Chains A and B, each alone.
Chain A
Amino acid sequence: MDERRSALQINNIEVMYHEVILALKGVSLEVPQGGIVGLLGANGAGKSTTLKAISGLLKHEDGEVTEGSIEFLGQRIDKKSAEEIAGLGIVQVIEGRRVFEHLTVEENLRVGAHLRGNGAHLRRGLDAVYHYFPRLKDRRDVQAGYLSGGEQQMTVIGRALMARPQIMLLDEPSMGLAPMLIKEIFEIITRLNREEGISILLVEQNVKLALATAPYAYVLENGRVVMDEPAEKLRENPDIRDFYLGLTDLGARKSFRAVKHYKRRKRWLT
């Protein structure tokens, strides 16, 4: 981990849904200021839950952080409401391109600036979003429900940008998009990080892409962090190569005959 001050720090949190279902069992992670950190894992590993615990959206799904703490720039936030957390500059882009379908693109963006008032900031914010996503400028008066998938993803990222985030929590921005678009969107994410200094916590199922974008990553499994290492080390890790990247040592595709997954288990918790 690099030596910069940490923006976000999660200390051993436990999350419960409906007071019975334990979704996270001791997750700790850290996002340095101005850094990009990846959060990897299979379906149901607890990636989205981790993001919701940070952004406070968990409380609206009857979930709760029952143990541990979440700190943002040294301030505890795990007991704060979603709007307070957004006010501090932590904005989650929730999974699945959730645009406000019946509003136009520009109205979507204006809702993004909800906490920042109407005046000069709004103008500046819109300019910035149209600078990063020129395509949205052409589509500004279109109802967001009728945009293409890529444009919708741009709209929700742009909308989050309007909230002036210090840290963005991105939940699977590549989901369901064409490879070309994924490339474009990830380039913009990297630029937002570099040019605007926004720290990013990136949840991704596309591990190859995530490890190319984030210099450091955590791997979640069954609600636990099972690995955290710099990206280049993770790329070399035989388990990651096998289970997430689908590569053998030679980089060739595996033959089904060779797969004896019932014999070899992921055993990271020694």
Chain B
Amino acid sequence: MDLFLQLLITGVMVGSIYALVALGWTLIYKCSGVLNLAMGELTLMGAYVCLSFYTWGIPFPLAVVGMLIIGFILGLLTERLFLRRMVGESILAVIMVTVGLSFFFRGIVAFTWGTDTRVFDPPVFPAEPIRWGRIVVGQVYVWSFVAALVMLVVFVAFFKYTRWGLSMQATADDEMAALSLGVSAHRVYALAWAIAFMAAGVGGTLLGNINGLNISVGYLGLLVLPAVVLGGLNSVPGAIVGGIAIGVLQNLSAGYLSRFTPGGIKEIAPFAFMVIILLFRPYGLWGWVKIERV
């Protein structure tokens, strides 16, 4: 039972990071219909930018803020330079552009920061774990959880209460109607990329604090796919719940199943799960059901 709780709690905490990245992914998909396969590389870019700031001696919170600003700008630029001219092209072509983007960013990362694993040095969070009874959780997990949660709340509040947040939701619902009211679709797309970049950057930074940072953190970009499929591709709450569920699932399968396998079950489990969901609930748990009035 202790093992289960332990796995569950760390799973939720890691999952909240996935949730953050999944939210960014969903946002792009929802607003502009682009299936983004470069999400993992966005996390890499953000994480390395933050790491660089931190190694220059900038305090961690400020380094994160700096990363958010750079991520915002990079997001706007990515949309402007690569995706704007793809508006109206076939879905497959746009997906291929995002594949291209993923290699491009990966190249930039390898070129600028090298391929060795880098760590945040000195460690940002104290190594001393927190104990609740017999459950032991590393502080880095707890703080990552808190940070991810704060970001999620900020984003959700942004969508619900601000002018641009509402306009983004409106564009996702009915782009033509939003245009007729003077909402600029290009700006909405750009904003979606900017927010996705920021969310991914925070996610990558937190993961980098947990495991150290190398190119394989970009694997996270694939991991968001089962998360968003579970939640329903275009649902923000779905992405959050999906992300957390995938984190838990990953941890549980690592804890209980890895002794029966030669290893790697942790990596495979989410995808096996995704296939099963697609079989039984192709729209995910909260995917948009078209509202039909009868």
Interface assignment of B279: CB less than 8 Å from any CB of chain A: no
- Our pick among B166, B169, B183 for the contact of A83 (Cβ within 8 Å) is B183
Interface assignment of B2: CB less than 8 Å from any CB of chain A: no
Distance between Cα atoms of A62 and B167 in the complex (Å) = 23
Among B169, B173, B181, the one with the most A-chain Cβ atoms within 10 Å of its Cβ is B181
Nearest opposing residue in chain A for B288, CB measure: A102
Nearest opposing residue in chain A for B234, CB measure: A102
**Number of cross-chain contacts by CB at 8 Å:** 89
Distance between Cα atoms of A57 and B216 in the complex (Å) = 44
Interface assignment of A156: CB less than 8 Å from any CB of chain B: yes
Interface assignment of B291: CB less than 8 Å from any CB of chain A: yes
B184 adjacent to A83 (CB under 8 Å): yes
B166 adjacent to A107 (CB under 8 Å): yes
Nearest opposing residue in chain B for A115, CB measure: B182
- Our pick among B88, B180, B185 for the contact of A93 (Cβ within 8 Å) is B180
Interface assignment of A149: CB less than 8 Å from any CB of chain B: yes
Q: Contacting chain B: which of A34-42, A84-92, A221-229?
A: A84-92
User: Residue-by-residue, is A66-109 near B (CB-CB < 8 Å gives 1, otherwise 0)?
Assistant: 00000000000000011101110001111000111111000110
Residues of B in contact with A, size category: 20 to 34
Distance between Cα atoms of A252 and B223 in the complex (Å) = 70
A55 adjacent to B170 (CB under 8 Å): no
Q: For B293, what are the chain A residues with a Cβ–Cβ distance below 8 Å?
A: 145-146, 148-149
Interface assignment of A160: CB less than 8 Å from any CB of chain B: yes
Among B179, B184, B288, B291, the one with the most A-chain Cβ atoms within 10 Å of its Cβ is B179
B169 adjacent to A91 (CB under 8 Å): no
Closest Cβ of chain B to A155, distance in Å, is 11
Interface assignment of B163: CB less than 8 Å from any CB of chain A: yes
Q: For B170, what are the chain A residues with a Cβ–Cβ distance below 8 Å?
A: 100, 103, 108, 111
Nearest opposing residue in chain B for A146, CB measure: B291
Nearest opposing residue in chain A for B177, CB measure: A98
Closest Cβ of chain A to B7, distance in Å, is 35
Q: Provided the pairs A62-B88, A83-B182, A163-B181 are in contact, do residues A118 and B169 lie with their beta carbons within 8 angstroms?
A: no
- Our pick among B163, B172, B179, B291 for the contact of A57 (Cβ within 8 Å) is B179
15 contacts between A and B (CB under 8 A): A57-B179, A81-B184, A82-B180, A82-B182, A83-B179, A94-B177, A101-B173, A101-B291, A103-B170, A111-B166, A111-B178, A112-B181, A146-B293, A162-B181, A163-B182
Given contacts A62-B88, A83-B179, 12 further A-B contacts (CB under 8 A): A57-B179, A60-B179, A83-B184, A86-B181, A92-B180, A94-B180, A101-B291, A110-B166, A111-B178, A145-B291, A149-B293, A162-B181
The 10 A-B residue pairs whose C-beta atoms are closest, nearest first, are: A86-B182, A145-B291, A100-B173, A98-B177, A115-B182, A111-B170, A83-B182, A100-B170, A83-B184, A92-B180
